[in-house]
Amino acid sequence: MFLSIVHRATGIALYVGTLLLAWWLIAAASGPTAYGHVHDFIASFIGRLIVFGYTWALLHHLFSGIRHLVWDLGYGFKANERETMTWGALVAGISATVLLWIIAYMIGGGR
Amino acid sequence: MSAPNVVKSMRTPLGRVRSLGSSHSGTTDFWRQRITAVAMVLLMVPVIVVVMMMLGSNHAGAAQMLGSPLVAIILLLFIVASTWHMKIGMQVVIEDYVHHESLKLAAIMANNFFSFAVALASIYAILKLAGGV
């Protein structure tokens, strides 16, 4: 199944992406100059693209992961259940990402 | 008088695999991967709310919010769960794809260093903002 490898790929992307989270926190602890660098990077086109990708990777991994937890509990192994959960995780991940970014721009993240 | 099944141990096969199993570390990582996963399912909404509240804020605003107890605790829990989860996840990936023994050990060691460093750096930053360090 193609989406099985996507779970792993998003996991690897999130692994690297924690560097961005750590950089943001360290910069906040360091002072206004360091925080300004992070802010400038995230506000740039490339930065925004990376954070958008990170948001999707996180949410897809979350929904896809919930699917795995359901399987761990012994449910959802019928063909139609597998299909529904897998497509559900994909659609939920994309929808939630777009929704969060719309909200983010509405409350002033567009700066 | 042949003895095809020579018993080399007093322990029964069942006894050997019970509890921690033959590898002596058993399913610890498997179980911790699930604990941290469920923890992050629960933490996801609070973390998203925290990040959303900080959008567009300058350094003073972000530092003040990151230093407040509730936000700091939510982020600390998320950092512990996520770095632990990603360390186990990457180890599974390494074990699946890296078959050269010494390269595999080096990669697993690097994975531990990276995950621990990210965790400690992030925790230190939050504690400093919270005024504890």
DSSP string, chain A: -HHHHHHHHHHHHHHHHHHHHHHHHHHHHH-HHHHHHHHHHHHSHHHHHHHHHHHHHHHHHHHHHHHHHHHHTT---SHHHHHHHHHHHHHHHHHHHHHHHHHHHHTTTT-
Higher pLDDT, A54 or B132: A54
Whether the CB-CB separation of B41 and A66 falls below 8 Å is answered with yes
Whether B126 contacts A25, CB under 8 Å? yes
Residue B15 C-alpha, separation from nearest chain A C-alpha, in angstroms: 25
Mutate which of A6, A8, A16, A21 to disrupt the B interface (most B C-beta within 10 Å)? A21
Measure in Å the smallest separation between the Cα of B53 and chain A Cα atoms. Answer: 9
Degrees, nearest 5: CA angle B2-B5-B10: 125
Task: Sort out which chain A residues have CB atoms less than 8 A from B75's CB and list them.
Answer: 25
ipTM over 0.85: yes
Tokens read off for A17: 């992406």
Q: What does the mean pLDDT of chain A come to?
A: 93
The pTM for the full model equals 0.88
Please judge whether B86 and A25 are an interchain contact, meaning their C-beta atoms are less than 8 angstroms apart.
no
Q: Residue A110's closest chain B neighbor by CA?
A: B56
Residue A58 pLDDT exceeds 60: yes
Residues of chain B with pLDDT under 50: 1, 133
A72·B34 Cβ contact <8 A: yes
